């Protein structure tokens, strides 16, 4: 039977597996129970030239797969193993004579006559070996009539002599001698156990020329009837299979058991193992280099594209930064750069800078929409460009900055700039307001940048002043500079509101009853850093900054709280609060605010004091507001009467209740006949018009008495009381005072 190499392995694996299953089916305890005792050491016989199964190495040491198995069996069984390796025939004789206990050999029927066999522990094959340069015999029939070398006592000798009598056998003492006989031409071929003979053949001009045949179980043989030893050996074999020893030994010898003389294919194979990784590395290196190169090229392309788009973007941004998109004029930054450049280039230059705004832009937008807005901006920009001023620019939102030609007067500048434009057939005045800074503004140490910044700031300050005064232009002077203290106050009010403020109350004496029946609420600001701030200072400041309404609302809320308390003492008690002109504008929403409070029915007895100038400022509007307030039961008084130019008869057109004579008339009325006459006639006329009169700023008893005699209704001044805290004022509510006059 001829088996391929894979077939041999499969068979071997199958046998090993079967043995394993057999052994595995026995529990180890059962193995222990069955363990046959043996105390004598074992002597194994074998061939000295039968690699890889058994042979003597150069030092005379027994080595090989079978030797390791025998050692393992002995160790497992607790005995020592001795190996006697000799020529094969002598080895067989040693067992027969009892000098040795066992020997590993192929199991065969003729041998079974002389020996008892253990279970097989391996399978071996035979092959034909022919001279490399002679005839190559590939099967046993081809050997008929040939001289074939065999080992004396070997399985092959037994088989061939029995079955192939026409083959001439040339018996030699060892396996190696067989191969040598072929090599030397003493035999045409030899028949040998495949694995072992292959090893020897590799050293000579001898080749394995047939497929393997005669698959034979490889077993341990003992003398016939030596049952104890046989049982012991079988047990050790099974135990070795079960505990993995057999597998370990087999694994150790596997490369040898599968050994064959390296062929050209093997060399190529080995070479392939060496070369393949090198080639693979080279290929990998090549691929990586190629990929890197591609990536570098791709990245370079990408970077170039990015660079180009960045350059485009930068240019776009530069253009955007340098030119205003709405008008095409230079931008703020470009203007500052240009101004800086001129300042540094011409140290003697005396610039005229104009900060200009088109005040009509908002109304044009609301009338003509966005297109009107854009048209006005563009038309004015074109006009500016045509004027050929050294530098013009649009800062955005209808604000322009201009460097005017040297020596151009503000009047001339205005005349050249302020032209009207046609929008949808209508002649529109752009409403130019200009802030002008003339001359240099630098310290010697100032950089061109700081100088340019200062010039712009001056022009802007002048612009704010012109705007506040409703003028068309204003030239910067140091007096226009805002007071830094005021800036702090405005900042803090914006930040903290009325946090550091409180109200004081100045009682008002009703001269008819001689009792305190009213009080005026006056604001106080105790600033944490700047100390006491006079309302005469910060009220106009807040008005200018458009922040007064916030304060007024707070005062109203505080005052109505206090009023409610005072009314528990005098149900007709009145508290007056001061209202700025701005509080009467639609934006301030004072009427609605007060109506809200009214629904809480806490407003009875609140009176509003409006300065004379405040009343006449927006005549029609104020008239409507005062009328609306009166409808709601809130009366108004004209404060500081006499300081403006309004006549009483004019004021009486407003739905006011009371006139407060300014203290400038009261102060000297007893000495100054003119003042006395004004006071006397005002009281008289007011009464004729149905108004009550309060005199403020009364500082002495004589004046108070004089006013009482003139029929003045109410008196207010230090002589009665300074402005005092709410609690003190509460104590004075309803108090009788007249006997002190
Ligand atoms: P005003 O409404 O005419 O208030 C009277 C001012 O004269 C108060 O000054 C008061 O302290 C002062 N005064 C009263 N009696 C005498 C006196 O016998 N002799 C002298 N020399 N002065 C006297 P104050 O409190 O400094 O207020 C100044 C102005 O500030 C007020 O004038 C008023 O217009 C405004 N004000 C005060 N509080 C408020 C407020 O809450 N809101 C608004 N919008 N303005 C307020
Ligand atoms: Mg007042
Ligand atoms: Mg007053």
CA 556 / ligand 2 centre spacing (Å)? 14
Q: What is the mean pLDDT of residues 655-675?
A: 95
DSSP class per residue in 581-634: GGGGSGGGTHHHHHHHHHHTT--TTEEEEEEHHHHHHTHHHHHHHHHHHHHTT-
How far is 198 from 615, CA to CA, in rounded Å? 131
Give the residue from 607, 616, 686 showing the smallest Cα distance to 644: 616
| Strongest mean pLDDT among 194-198, 213-217, 692-696 | 692-696
pLDDT score of 604: 77
CA 636 / ligand 3 centre spacing (Å)? 13
Per-residue model confidence as pLDDT tens digits over 124-173: 889 999 999 999 999 999 999 999 999 999 999 999 998 999 999 999 99
pLDDT score of 23: 42
Give the residue from 239, 205, 279 showing the smallest Cα distance to 69: 239
**Is a pLDDT exceeding 70 seen at residue 204?**
yes
Distance linking the first and last C-alpha atoms of the chain: 153
> Which residue has the least CA distance to atom 7 on ligand 1?
697
More confident of the two residues 241 and 64: 64
List of E strands, 7-121 = 42-47, 49-50, 54-56, 62-63, 81-86, 102-106, 115-117
**Is a pLDDT exceeding 50 seen at residue 5?**
no
Q: Give, in order, the Cα–Cα distances in Å from 73 to each of 19, 66, 79, 120.
A: 15, 10, 9, 14
CA 736 / ligand 3 centre spacing (Å)? 24
pLDDT score of 386: 94
Mutate to test the pocket of ligand 1, among 498, 521, 535 (most ligand atoms within 8 A of CB): 535
3-state secondary structure of 711: coil
Give the pocket of ligand 1 (CB within 6 Å): 506, 522-523, 534-536, 539, 555, 578-580, 609, 639-640, 663, 696-699, 716-718, 723
pLDDT-derived band at 21, boundaries 50, 70, 90: very low
Sequence-distant (6+) residues with CB within 8 A of 718 are 697, 698, 699
Per-residue model confidence as pLDDT tens digits over 537-563: 999 999 888 899 999 999 999 999 999
Write down the mean pLDDT value for the chain: 87
pLDDT-derived band at 288, boundaries 50, 70, 90: confident
Q: For residues 543 and 581, is the Cβ–Cβ distance under 8 A? A: yes
3-state secondary structure of 164: coil
More confident of the two residues 39 and 356: 356
- pLDDT exceeding 70 applies to what percent of the chain? 90
Q: Give the number of other CB atoms < 10 A from CB of residue 55.
A: 23
> Which residue has the least CA distance to atom 15 on ligand 1?
717
**Is a pLDDT exceeding 70 seen at residue 1?**
no
Atom of ligand 1 nearest to the CA of 534: 26
pLDDT score of 10: 42
pLDDT-derived band at 286, boundaries 50, 70, 90: confident
CA 580 / ligand 2 centre spacing (Å)? 10
CA 319 / ligand 2 centre spacing (Å)? 57
How far is 563 from 569, CA to CA, in rounded Å? 10
List of E strands, 487-546 = 501-510, 515-527, 531-533
3-state secondary structure of 210: coil
Nearest ligand, CA 536:
1
> Which residue has the least CA distance to atom 2 on ligand 1?
578
CA 173 / ligand 2 centre spacing (Å)? 146
**Is a pLDDT exceeding 50 seen at residue 17?**
no
Nearest ligand, CA 522:
1
Mutate to test the pocket of ligand 1, among 509, 522, 643, 701 (most ligand atoms within 8 A of CB): 522
**Is a pLDDT exceeding 80 seen at residue 313?**
no
Q: Scan for tokens 């309004």, then name that residue.
A: 646
Eight-class DSSP state of 225? T
Per-residue model confidence as pLDDT tens digits over 83-120: 999 999 999 999 999 999 999 999 888 888 889 999 88
Per-residue model confidence as pLDDT tens digits over 360-387: 988 888 888 889 999 999 999 999 999 9
> Which residue has the least CA distance to atom 3 on ligand 1?
640
pLDDT-derived band at 38, boundaries 50, 70, 90: confident
CA 698 / ligand 2 centre spacing (Å)? 14
| Strongest mean pLDDT among 291-295, 456-460, 593-597, 718-722 | 718-722
More confident of the two residues 575 and 588: 575
Looking at the DSSP bridge assignments, the partners of residue 402 are: 354, 392
Per-residue model confidence as pLDDT tens digits over 522-539: 999 999 999 999 999 999
**Is a pLDDT exceeding 60 seen at residue 489?**
yes
More confident of the two residues 638 and 291: 638
Q: Give the number of other CB atoms < 10 A from CB of residue 540.
A: 13
Query: Which of 156-160, 580-584, 589-593, 649-653 is predicted least confidently?
Result: 649-653
How far is 501 from 527, CA to CA, in rounded Å? 8
The whole-model pTM stands at 0.49
Q: Scan for tokens 């691929």, then name that residue.
A: 287
Per-residue model confidence as pLDDT tens digits over 676-696: 999 999 999 999 999 999 999
Structure tokens at 77: 């069984």
Sheet with 62-63, edge to edge strand ranges: 49-50, 54-56, 62-63
Q: What is the mean pLDDT of residues 451-459?
A: 90
3-state secondary structure of 337: helix
Q: Scan for tokens 């990998």, then name that residue.
A: 284
How far is 688 from 686, CA to CA, in rounded Å? 5
pLDDT-derived band at 613, boundaries 50, 70, 90: confident
Mutate to test the pocket of ligand 1, among 503, 578, 641, 701 (most ligand atoms within 8 A of CB): 578
Structure tokens at 256: 């040898």
More confident of the two residues 249 and 268: 249
CA 481 / ligand 1 centre spacing (Å)? 27
Per-residue model confidence as pLDDT tens digits over 619-659: 778 889 999 999 888 999 999 998 877 788 888 888 999 99
């Amino acid at each position: 039977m001829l088996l391929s190499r894979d077939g041999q392995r499969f068979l071997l694996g199958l046998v090993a597996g079967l043995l394993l299953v057999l052994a595995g089916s026995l529990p180890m305890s059962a193995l222990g129970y069955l363990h046959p005792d043996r105390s004598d050491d074992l002597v194994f016989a074998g061939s000295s030239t039968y690699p890889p199964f058994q042979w003597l190495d150069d030092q005379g040491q027994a080595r090989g797969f079978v030797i390791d198995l025998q050692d393992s069996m002995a160790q497992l069984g607790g005995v020592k193993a001795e190996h006697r390796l000799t020529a094969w025939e002598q080895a067989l004789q040693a067992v027969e004579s009892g000098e040795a206990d066992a020997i590993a050999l192929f199991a065969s029927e003729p041998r079974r006559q002389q020996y008892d066999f253990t279970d097989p522990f391996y399978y071996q094959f035979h092959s034909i070996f022919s001279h490399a340069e002679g005839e190559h015999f590939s099967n046993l029939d081809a050997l008929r009539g040939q001289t074939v070398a065999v080992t004396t006592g070997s399985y092959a000798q037994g088989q061939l002599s029995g079955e192939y009598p026409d083959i001439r056998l040339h018996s030699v003492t060892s396996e190696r001698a067989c191969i040598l006989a072929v090599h030397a031409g003493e035999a045409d071929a030899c028949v040998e156990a495949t694995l072992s003979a292959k090893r020897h053949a590799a050293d000579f001009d001898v080749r394995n020329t047939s497929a393997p045949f005669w698959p034979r179980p490889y077993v341990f043989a003992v003398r016939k009837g030596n049952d104890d030893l046989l049982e012991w050996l079988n047990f050790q074999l099974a135990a070795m299979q079960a505990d993995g020893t057999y597998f370990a030994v087999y694994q150790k010898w596997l490369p040898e058991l599968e050994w064959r003389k390296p062929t050209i294919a093997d060399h190529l194979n080995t070479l392939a193992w060496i070369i393949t990784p090198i080639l693979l590395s080279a290929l990998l290196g090549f691929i990586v280099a190629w990929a890197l190169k591609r990536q570098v090229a791709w990245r370079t392309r990408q970077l170039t594209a990015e660079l180009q788009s960045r350059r485009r973007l930068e240019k776009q941004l530069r253009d955007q930064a340098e030119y205003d998109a709405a008008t095409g004029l230079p931008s703020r930054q470009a203007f500052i750069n240009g101004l800086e450049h001129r300042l540094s280039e011409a140290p003697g230059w005396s610039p005229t800078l104009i900060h200009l705004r088109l005040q009509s832009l908002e109304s044009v937008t609301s009338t003509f929409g966005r297109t009107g807005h854009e048209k006005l901006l563009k038309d004015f920009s074109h006009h500016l460009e045509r004027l050929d001023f050294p530098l013009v620019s649009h800062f955005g939102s209808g604000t322009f900055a201009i460097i005017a030609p040297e020596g151009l007067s503000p009047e001339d500048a205005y005349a050249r700039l302020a032209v009207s434009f046609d929008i949808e057939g209508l002649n529109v005045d752009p409403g130019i307001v200009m802030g002008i800074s003339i001359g240099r503004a630098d310290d010697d140490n100032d950089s061109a940048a700081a100088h340019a910044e200062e010039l712009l700031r001056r022009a802007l300050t002048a612009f704010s002043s012109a705007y506040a005064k409703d003028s068309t232009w204003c030239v910067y002077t140091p007096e226009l500079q805002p007071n830094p203290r005021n800036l702090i106050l405005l900042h803090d009010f914006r930040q903290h509101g009325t946090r550091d403020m409180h109200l004081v109350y100045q009682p008002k004496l009703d001269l008819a009853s001689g009792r305190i029946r009213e009080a005026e609420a006056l604001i106080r600001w105790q600033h944490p850093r700047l100390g006491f701030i006079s309302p005469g200072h910060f009220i106009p400041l807040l008005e200018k900054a458009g922040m007064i309404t916030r304060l007024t609302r707070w005062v109203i809320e505080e005052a109505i709280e206090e009023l409610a308390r005072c009314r528990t003492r005098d149900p007709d008690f009145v508290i007056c609060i001061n209202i700025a002109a701005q509080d009467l504008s639609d934006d301030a929403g004072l009427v609605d605010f007060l109506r809200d409070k009214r629904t809480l029915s806490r407003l009875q007895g609140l009176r509003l004091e409006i300065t004379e100038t405040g009343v006449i400022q927006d005549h029609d509007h104020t008239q409507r507001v005062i009328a609306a307030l009166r409808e709601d039961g809130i009366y108004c008084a004209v404060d500081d009467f006499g300081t403006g130019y309004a006549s009483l008869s004019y004021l009486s057109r407003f739905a006011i209740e009371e006139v407060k004579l300014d203290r400038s008339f009261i102060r000297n009325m007893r000495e100054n006949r003119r003042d006395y006459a004004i006071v006397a006639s005002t009281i008289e006329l007011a009464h004729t018009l149905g108004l009550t009169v309060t005199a403020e700023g009364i500082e002495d008893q004589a004046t108070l008495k004089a006013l009482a005699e003139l029929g003045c209704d109410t008196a207010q001044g230090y002589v009665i009381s300074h402005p005092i805290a709410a609690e003190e004022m509460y104590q004075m509510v309803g108090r009788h005072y007249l006997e002190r006059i």
